[in-house]
Structure 1
Amino acid sequence: MKKNVLKPIVARRSTLLLALLAAAFTACRTAELAVSDEIKTGATAYAVKGRQGFQVGQVLSFGEYKTSQVKRGWTFSYSIPFAARFSGAREKLSFQQLGPGGRSAEVAFVSRFKETELSPLKDYFSLSAYYQNAFAGGIELNGTNEGWEFIVQNVDGGGNSLKNNTLGFVRSSTDRTRIDIIGLRELEGSPKLMTMTNVYGYEFRLDGQTIGAVSTVNNGKVWIKDNLHPELKLVLASVASGLILRTNVEEEALAAR
């Protein structure tokens, strides 16, 4: 009986130790997300500007992609069907995503859902299971009738088991094209055991092929395959911006202490 009582305590201590080791590692060097070799060729890697600093008037940019001033709490974005449906969520982000060729999209993301919204969220995305720590939203491409919806479950990772996956997808509301999102838990040059408790970025996969990635480490970084349609690039840029801008639930809890 005593062994059973001690087991969860030892597990929590092990998780804390791994988190501390990962933090020490990232503090000693500039941490870089470990991405697949597939995205290292035929893709452009963009350094991100605007993540750090004041949130008031915040603008995020990478390469030819730039957001309007980010609004935390909504104004215009209730016009996006998904955003209106889950307007009770405690964290809200909205902005216009600008891209090359004059393309733009209206974007609204939500997280930290109310307890009463979790079951409708599960049904809306036809999920087999759900986590309370989810990040979701809608993207409307200006000048077209096309919209996209997006969700990532267990978005911060939050677990010391590789089975505790961070998974999600972006889907088109017109032709149902689906891009899978996979959480990445490795840093360049760091043993997997030290980093497996956290998610440091996300990879975008279409038909099993990696077409983009985003790092949420330090200032952030975005990779987008060069051969994609410009509108699909804009969708990936929109989701990447949201993932970089969102508040990590665990970081927020630590800051509040």
Structure 2
Amino acid sequence: MNINTTLRILFATMLFASCTVAKVAVPDAFSSQAEELRVKGLQGFTFNQSLNFGPYITGEMKRGWDMSSKWQASQISFRPQDQLLRFFNIQTDNLRQTEKNKFQFAIRDGKLMADVFAFETFTERGKVYKSNSIFGEVSQTNYQHYDFSAAIVPYNYSHGQPWKLVMQSEYDRRKDTARNLLDLPYASTAYYATDGKDSITIHPLYIKNVTTGGGKSTKLLGPPMLSGYELRIEDGVIAVVDILQPTVWMYKELDEPTKLVTAAIGAAILLKRKQEVHNE
């Protein structure tokens, strides 16, 4: 198991065991001008899955087959550091794995409708250290590439060209600037949506504090936790997507077609398989 994964599981267990509440931080200036739309339909079985929040309803979710592959083989190396590991009876394997999945759905608000076609891929390369100690196997990630893309196609209204949603990130251990155990790993990212004319930038939001059952704010153990995403047009926030307590906050003054596109982006983000890729 990856050391980072072990820590995240431990922190999450302590978080929920202590009856604390973690949620995205929504700016006060924005929340006073936004609608809070709680998302229903994410829990339970994914068969015949459908989401609804505020006036927005998705059609039945159609998912393709989830495809994954994993390759692990003993590393052949004569480097001094690897020879030293063998002296202590620690074996090293190379690890490669890939994942792919796709899904599609329609979203409507009673008047307008759009189709969404999404595709998600994940690639990872690393090493696995095996020993007879209590740790068993410990993995080290050397490279990760994540790509989530979706086409949002207007169905019964005209609002320019179809929108393309892109969420890409790449992690390279050789370029990682994180030095402390609780630092977030550095990854290059590109998160945005565009129709070729207008663009929406997407910014991950992290939290460092949680609220206890008694209403007291306390610092989160471990590195900051991904809590959601902020959507912006130029310098203005138009929406916040909370992935911890599934909610879409949407700016009230948006026109209806832009609201539908924003709702489609929020639904696609909530439905994708992976969220905090580099800490899973």
Task: Report if TM-score (shorter chain) is over 0.5.
Answer: yes
Q: Does 1:60 align with 2:73?
A: no
1:103 maps to amino acid:
L
CA contact (8 A) 2:226 2:276 kept: no
Partner of 1:168: 191
RMSD after superposition: 3.2
- Who is 1:17 aligned against? 7
1:228 equivalent in alignment to 2:254:
yes
Contact 1:97–1:104 under 8 Å retained in 2? yes
Corresponding position: 1:246 with 2:280: no
Match of 1:191 among 219, 241, 248: 219
Q: Secondary structure at the match of 2:43?
A: coil
Q: CA-to-partner distance for each residue in 1:92-127, whole Å, 9 max, x for gaps?
A: 110001114x10001011111579xxxxxxxxxxxx
* Larger helix percent: 1
* 1:212-231 C-alpha deviation (Å, 9 max, x unpaired): 0111114x111000000111
Is 1:217 aligned to residue 244 of structure 2?
yes
**CA shift at 1:90, angstroms?**
1.8
Q: Secondary structure at the match of 2:226?
A: coil
Distance 1:224 1:206 in 2: 13
In the other structure, the counterpart of 2:164 is 149
Out of 37, 44, 48, the residue aligned to residue 39 of structure 2 is 48
Identify if the C-alpha distance between structure 1 residues 237 and 249 changes in structure 2 by more than 3 Å, giving closer, same or farther. closer
Higher alpha-carbon Rg: 2
Cα offsets for 1:134-189 (capped at 9, x unmatched):
2111101122253100111239xxx833754655001013xx21110001111654
2: distance between equivalents of 1:180 and 1:41?
Answer: 21
Structure 1 distance, partners of 2:100, 2:4, is 31
Aligned partner of 2:61 among 44, 57, 70: 70
Q: Partners of 1:167 and 1:38 in 2: how far apart?
A: 26
Relative to the length of structure 1, the TM-score reads: 0.69
- Residue 178 of structure 1 corresponds to 199
1:60–1:18 Cα change, 3 Å: closer
SS of 2:46's partner is coil
- Does the CA contact (< 8 Å) of 1:148 and 1:172 recur in 2? yes
* Structure 2 letter corresponding to 1:45: E
Alignment length, in residue pairs? 206
Aligned to 1:119: none
Question: In the alignment, is the contact (CA less than 8 A) between 1:39 and 1:213 conserved in 2?
Answer: no
Residue 116 of structure 2 corresponds to 107
Q: 1:178, 1:247 → 2: CA distance?
A: 24
Q: 1:204 to 1:59 in 2, by over 3 A?
A: same
Give the 3-state SS of the residue equivalent to 2:265 in structure 1: helix
Specify whether residues 113 and 146 from structure 1 end up closer, same or farther in structure 2 by C-alpha distance, changes over 3 A only: same
Identity rate, percent: 28
Over 3 Å counting, the alpha-carbon distance change for 1:35 and 1:134 in structure 2 is farther
Q: 1:65-144 to 2 correspondence within 5 Å? A: 65-73=56-64, 90-100=100-110, 102-112=111-121, 132-142=145-155, 143-144=157-158
- Pick which of 12-21 and 131-140 moved more: 12-21
Cα pair 1:165 1:183 within 8 Å, conserved: no
Check conservation: 1:150, 1:169, Cα contact below 8 A. Answer: yes
- Contact residue 184 and residue 223 of structure 2 kept, 8 A: no
**Cα distance in 2, alignment partners of residues 14 and 112 from structure 1:** 21
User: Secondary structure of the equivalent of 1:132?
Assistant: strand
Shift, 1:31, TM fit:
2.5
Amino acid at match of 1:243: I
Bigger Cα displacement from structure 2, 221-230 vs 35-44: 35-44
Give 5+ residue unaligned stretches, structure 2: 66-98, 125-142, 171-177, 211-216
Among 219, 234, 250, the residue aligned to 1:207: 234
Letter in 1 for 2:117: A
